[in-house]
């Protein structure tokens, strides 16, 4: 056989091999999780709608539901989660050191965090933006009226840097009043030490609902001064675990897109002829083996938490205490930018 023909055949065979789906091995993080029987999840110390514990110690919120969905997918039980509450300054160290398996704590994806911390960003669970809250009695109606004013902000966050950038760009010369802990920031604002309070708009809604004596006395200004795509992070070096966390989130999004809910999972598993739903629920194809999981990984996750829309509605949506509009977090075909790559 001519050498060139042999090279061509080898190249074709190699290309065909590259197209074959190869089952994944579990990865060291998943091995550790299975050995201890628990996913260790870093969360906020208390941010209503995202991660907060009630008086009985039960955690709830969007970030919490992500952890529950991951536990359901990997361990078969959404309750097999240990929640580790973390202040902003400690969150990345806790993940880097191995204290937690996943950081699901309303954390903004940025280039610096992705490229320099030894961590990997997964998928966006909430598209947010930084805003300002002021007392209604201040008569302030827009952010440009904050010139020269004191603004309460938490240190160790993108919020602090965004405030400095916004002030410089608009010649506002605002006076940041910086605190390490969220409780201190809230206390300073509500006691009148600052004219305004700045953080992600979702966080402002949470704080107003939880901590204000009368939420109607406080106005969240209409401007957003930044992009804050929030989502979980994992340690670099375990691609298998990163893929699991990412695809659980994508699966929750795609489940909503195709009408798979916590209530109808079992019925659809038994009766649906839709090939996409069959792939999501593991009835026509075993996508789980590509992640080192079983074929019902996603069915369990949706049954435990509901799809992404159900999670949003329950925790922060118009029917929740926060009453946040779906906005950018709507599905791509309903005016939003939530768009999951296909499970196939």
- Identify the CATH number of the domain in which residue 65 sits: 3.40.190.10
Which string of b and e fits 173-191 if b means at least 16 CB within 10 Å? ebebbbbeebeebbebbbe
Q: How far apart are CA 280 and CA 253, in angstroms?
A: 11
Co-location of 269 and 142 in the same domain: no
Q: Establish if 32 belongs to a structural domain.
A: yes
CB atoms within 10 A of CB 20: 6
Q: How far apart are CA 130 and CA 151, in angstroms?
A: 13
Q: How far apart are CA 253 and CA 210, in angstroms?
A: 28
pLDDT value of position 25: 66
pLDDT value of position 7: 53
β-bridge mates for residue 176, sequence order: 151
pLDDT value of position 49: 95
Co-location of 121 and 234 in the same domain: yes
Contact at 8 Å (CB) between 42 and 86? yes
Range of the domain at 161: 130-226
Domain boundary among 226, 243, 264: 226
Co-location of 137 and 161 in the same domain: yes
pLDDT value of position 10: 46
pLDDT value of position 319: 87
Q: Establish if 9 belongs to a structural domain.
A: no
Q: Establish if 339 belongs to a structural domain.
A: no
Q: Inter-axis angle of helices 239-257 and 62-75, to 10 degrees?
A: 110
Domain boundary among 209, 226, 243: 226
pLDDT value of position 12: 47
Co-location of 213 and 248 in the same domain: no
Q: How far apart are CA 316 and CA 51, in angstroms?
A: 11
Q: Establish if 258 belongs to a structural domain.
A: yes
Q: Establish if 105 belongs to a structural domain.
A: yes
User: Could you read off the pLDDT of 227-268 as tens digits, one per residue?
Assistant: 999 999 999 999 999 999 999 999 999 999 999 999 999 999
Q: Establish if 150 belongs to a structural domain.
A: yes
pLDDT value of position 157: 87
Cβ neighbors of 186 (< 8 A, separation 6 or more) are: 197, 207, 211
Cβ neighbors of 182 (< 8 A, separation 6 or more) are: 45, 46, 47, 87, 88, 154
Co-location of 212 and 257 in the same domain: no
pLDDT value of position 8: 53
Q: Establish if 23 belongs to a structural domain.
A: no
* Strand, helix or coil for residue 193: coil
User: Could you read off the pLDDT of 101-114 as tens digits, one per residue?
Assistant: 999 999 999 999 99
pLDDT value of position 320: 93
pLDDT value of position 240: 97
Domain boundary among 175, 194, 226: 226
Q: Establish if 10 belongs to a structural domain.
A: no
What residue ranges of the chain have pLDDT lower than 50?
9-10, 12-18
Cβ neighbors of 199 (< 8 A, separation 6 or more) are: 130, 131, 153, 154, 157, 159, 185, 207
pLDDT value of position 85: 98
* Counted domains in the chain: 2
Helices (H), 37-157: 62-75, 91-96, 111-116
């Amino acid at each position: 056989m001519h050498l060139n023909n042999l090279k061509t055949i080898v190249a074709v065979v190699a290309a065909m091999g590259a197209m074959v789906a190869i089952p994944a091995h579990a990865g060291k993080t998943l091995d550790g999780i299975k050995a201890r029987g628990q996913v260790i999840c870093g969360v906020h110390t208390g941010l209503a709608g995202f991660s907060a514990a009630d008086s009985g110690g039960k955690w709830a919120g969007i970030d919490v539901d992500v952890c529950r969905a991951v536990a359901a997918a990997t361990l078969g039980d959404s309750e097999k989660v240990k929640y580790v509450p973390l202040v902003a300054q400690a969150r990345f160290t806790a993940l880097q050191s191995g204290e937690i398996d996943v950081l699901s704590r309303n954390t903004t994806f940025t280039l610096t965090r992705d490229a320099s911390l030894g961590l990997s960003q997964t998928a966006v669970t909430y598209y947010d933006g930084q805003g300002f809250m002021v007392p209604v009695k201040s008569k302030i109606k827009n952010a440009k009226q904050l010139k020269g004013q004191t603004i309460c902000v938490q240190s160790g966050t993108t919020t602090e840097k965004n405030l400095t950038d916004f002030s410089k760009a608009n010649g506002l010369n605002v006076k940041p009043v910086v605190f390490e802990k969220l409780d201190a920031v809230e206390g300073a604002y509500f006691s009148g030490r600052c004219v305004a309070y700045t953080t992600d708009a979702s966080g402002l809604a949470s704080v107003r609902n939880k901590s204000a004596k009368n939420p109607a006395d406080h106005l969240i200004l209409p401007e957003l001064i930044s992009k804050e795509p929030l989502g979980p992070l994992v340690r670099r070096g375990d691609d298998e675990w990163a893929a699991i966390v990412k695809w659980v989130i994508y699966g929750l999004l795609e489940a909503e897109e195709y009408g798979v809910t916590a209530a109808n999972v079992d019925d659809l598993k038994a009766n649906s002829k839709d090939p996409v739903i069959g792939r999501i629920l593991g009835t026509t194809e075993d996508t789980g083996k590509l992640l080192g999981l079983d074929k019902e990984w996603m069915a369990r996750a949706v049954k435990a938490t509901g799809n992404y829309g159900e999670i949003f509605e329950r925790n922060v949506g118009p029917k929740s205490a926060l009453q946040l509009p779906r906005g950018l977090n709507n599905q791509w075909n309903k005016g939003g930018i939530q768009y999951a790559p296909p499970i196939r």
